[in-house]
């Protein structure tokens, strides 16, 4: 197949990236971009005829037919047979059109989630982001090179489980990850400037993309959840991070730290954080902290109070972000969040932000459960290799 190393992407200020191809471009970039545009149209809308694709992309019928022929040769697009037409259509327009779709089973993707504290989890996924096989490797407290070796072992096992050609390997890592897949800093795994993407690519000779786990999560929410255009996905695990989408553009920042809200102080008199400050959001929300507080709570009323207080702190931290960026939606991912915590966060957030006319702020749980990073890592591969998501 002719995967493109450098699909056309419109870079935006501040290290953001437009997630989906949206319109025709100049001739010199046209072929790669238009190929992505056709794939995106079929991926988003499902079965369509060549004429449907031409209508929704603005490309000519000839260009669409040409690109579809190429995509069929690559095994990415298949013809499904003729559309069932209404009787009147048969009379007037001849044969009904042939429907096309992406062949979601043609390739497999390896998705890896390194964000759990005790275990690295992975899956084999199809191009539709469905999980076909799973595997995990216990971390056993490994850090540094030993943690990398665990990740390699997991990938190796999953490659053995795949039954179709591999499109690529996607990895969601905790910490700060740059656009070359270098993990600049992941304290829990003992990684500093870890060349994770390059070392996995060298070892397995496959396309690899390593992204921050919260950024992977927001990609999954964008492709498989109900995320709107202006969304912040807050991911709570051993730490607290967030992925940001604004107007359909994913924001990273030039230092790749956009969304790093875990060490924002929400109570200067609060507990001492691992970063040296007191009362960081993480000390209220991250799993180890909540585990300890909930273990000390003796009644269910006490537990609810702990969760509500954590939710209030989350609302306090999010309010200025929501106000500054004009976010319409907060999506939460992680244990303990559903229920009193999310309710308190929503109440606090609404009390502290201006309700703009016609824009209702939504705060909700993700519908993608524990697989959100695995599926988002797969989306990162789709996006990098084929230019759609
Ligand atoms: Zn801190």
Residue range 246-274, pLDDT digits in tens? 988 999 999 999 999 999 999 999 999 98
Q: How confident is the model at residue 226 (pLDDT cuts 50, 70, 90)?
A: confident
Question: Could you give the dihedral angle defined by the CA atoms of residues 17, 159, 45 and 11, in that order, rounded to the nearest 10 degrees?
Answer: 10
Distance 315 CA to ligand 1 centre (A): 17
> DSSP strand E in 220-289: where?
231-236, 240-246, 249-251
pLDDT tens profile 24-77: 666 767 888 999 999 999 998 889 999 999 999 999 999 999 999 999 999 999
Across 131-152, average pLDDT: 96
287, 305 contact by CB (below 8 A): no
Distance 321 CA to ligand 1 centre (A): 18
pLDDT of res. 117? 80
Across 212-227, average pLDDT: 94
Nearest to 260 by CA among 326, 189, 317: 317
Distance 289 CA to ligand 1 centre (A): 12
Distance 280 CA to ligand 1 centre (A): 5
**74 DSSP assignment:** T
Across 222-234, average pLDDT: 90
Q: Which residues have beta carbons under 5 A from ligand 1 (an ion)? A: 263, 273, 275, 277, 280
Q: Tokens at residue 260, please? A: 């790093």
Q: Is the pLDDT of residue 8 over 50?
A: no
Distance 120 CA to ligand 1 centre (A): 24
Q: How confident is the model at residue 88 (pLDDT cuts 50, 70, 90)?
A: low
Distance 274 CA to ligand 1 centre (A): 6
Distance 334 CA to ligand 1 centre (A): 19
CA distance 219 to 211: 10
pLDDT of res. 86? 60
Distance 236 CA to ligand 1 centre (A): 14
- What is the model's pTM? 0.89
Q: Is the pLDDT of residue 322 over 90?
A: yes
127, 383 contact by CB (below 8 A): no
CA distance 208 to 172: 11
Q: How confident is the model at residue 11 (pLDDT cuts 50, 70, 90)?
A: very low
Distance 264 CA to ligand 1 centre (A): 7
261, 281 contact by CB (below 8 A): yes
**356 DSSP assignment:** -
CA distance 217 to 369: 10
Within the chain, residue ranges assigned H as helices are 27-45, 50-57, 61-73, 87-93, 144-161, 196-204, 213-224, 282-285, 287-296, 300-325, 340-352, 372-386
123, 135 contact by CB (below 8 A): yes
Distance 224 CA to ligand 1 centre (A): 32
Distance 308 CA to ligand 1 centre (A): 20
Beta-bridge mates of residue 102: 77
14, 48 contact by CB (below 8 A): no
Q: Higher-confidence residue: 17 or 169?
A: 169
CA distance 320 to 315: 9
Q: How confident is the model at residue 92 (pLDDT cuts 50, 70, 90)?
A: low
């Amino acid at each position: 197949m002719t995967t493109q190393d450098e699909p056309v992407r419109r870079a935006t200020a501040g290290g953001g990236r437009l997630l989906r191809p949206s319109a025709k471009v100049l001739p010199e970039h046209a072929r790669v971009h238009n190929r992505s545009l056709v794939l995106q149209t079929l991926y988003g809308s499902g079965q369509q005829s060549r004429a449907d694709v031409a209508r929704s992309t603005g490309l000519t019928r000839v260009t669409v037919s040409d690109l579809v022929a190429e995509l069929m040769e690559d095994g990415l697009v298949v013809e499904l047979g003729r559309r069932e037409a209404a009787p009147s259509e048969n009379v007037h327009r001849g044969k009904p059109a042939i429907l096309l779709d992406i062949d979601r089973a043609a390739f497999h993707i390896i998705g890896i989630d390194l964000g759990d504290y005790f275990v690295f989890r992975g899956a084999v996924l199809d191009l539709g982001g469905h999980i076909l096989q799973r595997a995990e490797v216990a971390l056993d407290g490994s850090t540094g090179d030993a943690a990398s070796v665990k990740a390699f072992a997991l990938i190796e096992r999953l490659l053995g489980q795949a039954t179709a050609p591999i499109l690529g390997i996607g990895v969601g890592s905790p910490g700060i990850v740059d656009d070359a897949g270098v993990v600049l800093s992941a304290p829990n795994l003992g990684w500093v400037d870890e060349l994770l993407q390059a070392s996995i690519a060298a070892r397995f000779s496959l396309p690899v993309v390593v992204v921050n786990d919260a950024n992977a999560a927001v990609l999954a929410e964008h492709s498989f959840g109900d995320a709107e255009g202006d969304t912040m996905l807050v991911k709570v695990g051993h730490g607290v991070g967030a992925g940001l989408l604004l107007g359909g553009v994913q924001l990273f920042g030039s230092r790749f730290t956009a969304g790093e809200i875990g060490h924002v102080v929400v109570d200067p008199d609060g507990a001492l954080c691992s970063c040296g400050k007191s009362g960081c959001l993480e000390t209220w929300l991250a799993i180890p902290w909540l585990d300890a507080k909930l273990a000390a709570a003796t009644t269910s009323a006490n537990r609810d109070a702990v969760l509500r207080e954590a939710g209030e702190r989350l609302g306090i931290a999010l309010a200025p972000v929501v106000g500054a960026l004009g976010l319409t939606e907060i999506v939460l991912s992680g244990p303990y969040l559903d229920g009193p915590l999310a309710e308190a966060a929503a109440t606090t957030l609404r009390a502290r932000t201006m309700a703009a006319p016609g824009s209702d702020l939504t705060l909700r749980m993700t519908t993608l459960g524990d697989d959100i990073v695995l599926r988002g890592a797969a989306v990162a591969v789709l996006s990098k290799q084929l230019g759609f998501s």
